[in-house]
Structure 1
Amino acid sequence: MTDPESLPDYRPDPAILPLADWLADPVSPADFPETILRFRNDRAARTVGLVGLDDGQWVAHFGRFDPLPENLPRPLALRYHGHQFRVYNHELGDGRGFLHAQLRDDRQRLLDLGTKGSGQTPWSRQGDGRLTLKGAVREVLATEMLEALGVYTSRTFSIVETGEELWRGDEPSPTRSAVLTRLSHGHIRIGTFQRLALLEERAAMEQLVEYCLARFPGPENAFDGPGADHPAAILMNQVVERLADLAASYMVAGFVHGVLNTDNMNVTGESFDYGPWRFLPRWDASFTAAYFDHSGLYAFGRQPEALHWNCAQLAIALRTLCPSEPLVAALERFGPLYERFLAKRWCWRLGVEPRGDDRDTRLVATCERVLQESGVAPDRFFHTHRGGRNASGELAEALRPYTVTEDDHPYWREAEPQSMLIDEVEAIWTPIAEDDDWTPLWSKIERLRRVGEAHGTPPTPAGH
């Protein structure tokens, strides 16, 4: 076991333990035949005091899942329900993952270390509880790209290859396996509240609301009115604000999550759990990521609608504790908040200072028209017109009132922007699959982190 004295900046805080009896099930990790370290996110590890682990200790904690010092004694598979493509499912829960540890970061925020592919749990149903190595590689690429583009996302903390052969219907099999650890600002889902509401567990619901307000603090006086000071209404306002911002960040990034079910909605507003994701090759509201999304429910342009609908499901669940009026009032804030956050984030990516008025909305509309008419990829559009450069016609006119953000990063002088289209994902995976060559992946991660440096500090996520 790791000596806590060897990790002076490590701050364990297993705050979820008082809720564990009704929120989770203690489980054991799978006993993998191999544990080969493939990726460790030292940048993220530095923020939570774990960068001092050597590779052997890292694999012990994130491949075999030995407990971290003074942390959760056993992993916890969380219980929740959820709407999956708007069909309610009460048989959900952590089926191939668990909560491994909780700890404070260098800003004193409570963070979770959760897993994907760590073995079967009581909620696995017919699944094997495993993750393909390709799925893990895709997740690190998604999180690194999203973080670079200012999206409030979980971070891929670790990938350990596990030596098993997996059979999957949607990729060539047998295929290699892995266990992934993510660093997230909590794992409480809208579906967690839905489960408690269905089971009529009012006391647990009150405890969970209190936990979220204490552990994920945010603005408390979002609106005035009857019931506005009720804890459930305060939480509802926070979640609406956060998810409106998340929807805006997806659109500005040109990102399609693919599976925006209520069990994939973190009440912190943090994006996580990346399966069939895609980035846009061109600006297309109907573009879908999941081959099984036959109706286009979670198409690119419908993502704000999807997150608003999910907020409504939280409001329905919180009716267990709170009158409807303040919950509905909170829900009605979603649209205006989304428009405001969209404009703010759009200006940030474009490299201009937002004006804070209708001109921002008109700028976004003009850019969208240019994107649609030109067919240019969003990444290229923002790179070409960073700081208002190379603009002509109506775009130049829309940009005229704006002050350019100071930015002389060499990335903006490169001929080609970084992107993460599906062809490049496959090109990065192929040398891993065929020759165990990880160089293209490491190189891409390095380039994506330069993208983040070039953009600078993103707008603060709403409610944080």
Structure 2
Amino acid sequence: MDFTPQQAILELGGAFYDPVQAANFPKTVLRFRNDRAAAQVGLEGLSDDKWLAHFGRFEPLPGAQPQPLALRYHGHQFRVYNPEIGDGRGFLFAQMRDDTGRLMDLGTKGSGQTPYSRFGDGRLTLKGAVREILATEMLEALGVHTSRTFSVIETGEELHRNDEPSPTRSAVLVRLNHGHIRIGTFQRLAYNQDTEGLATLTAYVLRHYYGEDAGDDAPQRLLAHVARRTAKLAGQFMAAGFVHGVLNSDNINVTGESFDYGPWRFTPSWAPAFTAAYFDQSGLYAYGRQPEAIYWDVMQLASSLRLIAEEAPLVEALEGYAPAYHDAVTTAILWRLGVLPRGAEQDRPLVQALEFALGSTGTPLDRFYFDAFGGQLPDHYGEPFAELRSQLTGYQARKPRDHPYWSGDHPCAMLIDEVEAIWSSIAQADDWQPLQDKVAAVRRLGEALA
């Protein structure tokens, strides 16, 4: 398709963002370009030189906004409200349409300081960029509504960090997102008692991300959309065995798309208490608490919208989250199991039996889904899986196991030891082959599941 630039963000006006300049990096070495994602927005034809110019030095794309914009927002961070955040090491670089007509953003991570950097250097470690490649590729393969890592360019600076060996290498990352409007964007306006801004932002999101006009009921319609979309995301996280790690309200996109991967991990087994972040000592964002954590964030959106809407319709919209989540987690688990749904009365007992069997045995998640794809449990899954085996009777496979992926001996997983080994190859020997091999393997998994 042709590149179709947009400048929709400018409709909001200067109260929502600050024009900024990208850092002038010592060098720009292309380490990852996602031509699969680029093809969906008409940019796959860029030469490597043009790619570096646009995504390493941030020369404007033709027809796109002339200058990067750091977006303004607030948010709850581990349930503590922080009015002093915003785009501190990233910005919105460009907007365009994708091949389905959706409005998309190209946003950055590690592109330099902004008015919201506070005491940070505005940079990104190369390790952080590599981890985000791995997270987004795996989540996309597992059917999760995620941003995609579009570009990673090494920038030649030495960074000092407290939580990893320093100095360490630096990078600038570009991600392709279905929007960058966060719950925290609304919270900032509510904090400032800016009712006009809330109405403007509500209309913008409805128009550009949900294809609806504003009206008297715009706030509750928006909240209902966000509740359903984020509930679906929570269900996809659970089926994928993914732990985001930092589900703060400034990290929840109102389109329901997951993004911004820091201390993420995939849980090895169905372990509700498993956490991704070493600093999450209370387990607030543990694997099994993610649906509740995301709901709490959506409640903060409802609280913000209360300034421009009555309480009762907002409460009604919030009540859609729980049933949407139960439907979503059931759908996502059946999809990963490779069976066709039969209806809520049969599907939910199946999911309950699966959760019990996996939770009581500690069976590796990736191994189980690999073995059980298509609905046939191998004989070595014994008594704890008896009820699940019984529940699977009568389910039809949604596709045959005829992809070459299923002929292998081991599932494609993304556990922390392998992630660290991939990074170690880069850090110690500048060997990028393990990363390239892993991305290829993950995409093969995605083809097998799709």
Q: TM-score range by the shorter chain?
A: over 0.9
In 1, Cα distance between the equivalents of 2:253 and 2:431?
35
C-alpha displacement of 1:229: 6.4
Compared with structure 1, are the counterparts of its residues 219 and 71 closer, same or farther at alpha carbon in structure 2 (3 Å cutoff)? closer
Q: Which amino acid aligns with 1:292?
A: F
What's the counterpart of residue 172 of structure 2? 179
Query: 8 Å contact 1:228–1:234 — kept in the other structure?
Result: no
CA contact (8 A) 2:268 2:365 kept: yes
Give the counterpart of 1:379 among 366, 373, 376. Answer: 366
> 2:55 matched to which residue of 1?
62
Structure 2 partner of 1:426 = 420
In structure 2, the partner of 1:449 is 443
8 Å contact 2:152–2:173 — kept in the other structure? Answer: yes
Residue number among 27, 38, 42 corresponding to 1:34 in the alignment: 27
Aligned to 1:213: 206
Counterpart residue number, 2:227: 240
Asked if the contact 1:228–1:326 (Cα under 8 Å) also holds between the matched residues in 2, the reply is: no
**CA distance 1:453–1:44, change in 2 (3 Å):** same
Query: Is the aligned partner of 1:305 residue 2:292?
Result: yes
- Are 2:80 and 1:87 aligned? yes
Write the mapping of 1:220-231 to structure 2, written as runs, cut at 5 A. 230-231=217-218
2:116 corresponds in structure 1 to 123
Cα contact 2:375–2:396 (8 A) shared by 1: no
C-alpha displacement at 1:218, in angstroms? 6.2
Deviation of 1:373 after TM superposition, in Å, equals: 2.4
SS, match of residue 16 in structure 1: helix
The one-letter code sitting in structure 2 at the alignment partner of 1:349 is: R
**What is the CA distance between 1:370 and its match in structure 2?**
1.4
Range with greater deviation from structure 2 (290-299 or 402-411): 402-411
Q: Residue in 1 aligned with 2:389?
A: 396
Please identify runs of 4+ aligned residues in structure 1 that moved more than 6 A: none
Structure 2 counterpart of 1:329, from 296, 316, 326: 316
Aligned partners of 1:274 and 1:20: how far apart in 2? 29
Indicate which of 100, 103, 112 corresponds to 1:107.
100
- Letter aligned with residue 326 of structure 2: E
The aligned residue for residue 339 of structure 1 is 326
Q: Judge which range, 198-207 or 111-120, deviates more.
A: 198-207
CA distance in 1, matches of 2:164, 2:233: 30
Alpha-carbon deviations, 1:54-103, whole Å to 9, x = none? 00000000000001111111100000000000000000100000000000
Residues 13-24 of structure 1 correspond to what in structure 2 (within 5 A)?
Answer: 13-24=6-17
**Which residue does 1:191 correspond to in 2?**
184
Deviation at 1:362, TM superposition (A): 0.8
Instruction: Assess, with a 3 A threshold, how the Cα gap between structure 1 residues 71 and 219 changes in structure 2: closer, same or farther.
Output: closer
Q: Which amino acid is 1:446 matched to?
A: A
Shift of the 364–121 alpha-carbon distance from structure 1 to 2, 3 Å rule, reads same
139-148 or 333-342, which deviates more: 333-342
Report the Cα distance in structure 1 between the residues aligned to 2:373 and 2:211, rounded to whole angstroms: 32
Normalised by the size of structure 1, how large is the TM-score? 0.94
Correspondence for 2:307: 320
Deviation at 1:228, TM superposition (A): 10
* Match in the other structure for 1:437: 431
How many residues align? The count is 443
Q: Deviation digits for residues 406-452 of structure 1, max 9, x if unmatched?
A: 22212122110000000000111111111111000011001100111
Question: After superposition, what is the alpha-carbon deviation per residue over 1:215-241, rounded to whole angstroms, capped at 9, x for unaligned?
Answer: 101699xxxxxx996001110000000
Shift of 1:120: 0.2
Q: For residues 373 and 296 of structure 1, do their structure 2 counterparts lie closer, same or farther at Cα, with a shift above 3 Å needed? A: same
Q: Partners in 2 of 1:395 and 1:384 — Cα distance?
A: 14
Match of 1:410 among 404, 411, 414: 404
Who is 1:45 aligned against?
A: 38
Structure 2: distance between partners of 1:445 and 1:406: 23
2: distance between equivalents of 1:264 and 1:20? 22
Instruction: Note if 1:276 corresponds to 2:269.
Output: no
Cα displacement (A) at 1:281:
1.2
- SS of 1:88's equivalent in the other structure is strand
Q: CA deviation at 1:173?
A: 0.3
Instruction: Name whichever of 444-453 and 373-382 sits farther off.
Output: 373-382
| Counterpart code for 1:12 | P
Structure 1 distance, partners of 2:431, 2:249, is 37
Distance in structure 1 (CA, Å) of the matches to 2:130 and 2:29: 14
CA distance in 1 between partners of 2:4 and 2:215 (Å): 35
Aligned to 2:89: 96
Deviation at 1:28, TM superposition (A): 0.3
Counterpart Cα distance in 1 of 2:174 and 2:16: 20
Which amino acid is 1:308 matched to? Y
Question: Root-mean-square deviation (CA), in Å?
Answer: 1.4
- Aligned residues of 2:94 and 2:105 also touching (Cα < 8 A): yes
- SS of the residue corresponding to residue 156 of structure 2 reads strand
1:157 aligns with 2:150: yes
> Scaled by the length of structure 2, what TM-score is found?
0.97
Show structure 1 runs of 5+ residues with no match. 1-7, 221-226, 457-464
Distance (whole Å) between structure 2 residues aligned to residue 265 and residue 423 of structure 1: 28
* Letter in structure 1 aligned against 2:418: E
1:72 equivalent among 65, 69, 72: 65
| C-alpha distance in structure 2 between counterparts of 1:175 and 1:209, whole Å | 41
Unaligned residue ranges in structure 2 (runs of 5+): none
SS of equivalent residue, structure 1 residue 387: coil
CA contact (8 A) 2:234 2:325 kept: yes
Structure 2 matches for 1:135-146, cutoff 5 A? 135-146=128-139
State the distance in 1 between where 2:211 and 2:256 align.
11
**Deviation of 1:133 (Å):** 0.1
Counterpart of 1:157 in 2: which secondary structure? strand
Aligned partner of 1:5 in structure 2 is none
Query: What per-residue deviation string (whole Å, max 9, x for no partner) do you get for residues 3-34 of structure 1?
Result: xxxxx700000100121401100000000000
Q: Which amino acid aligns with 1:450?
A: R
Q: For 1:344 and 1:294, how far apart are their aligned partners in 2?
A: 31
1:240 touches 1:334 (CA, 8 Å); kept in 2?
yes
Q: Is the 1:386–1:412 Cα contact (8 Å) retained in structure 2?
A: no
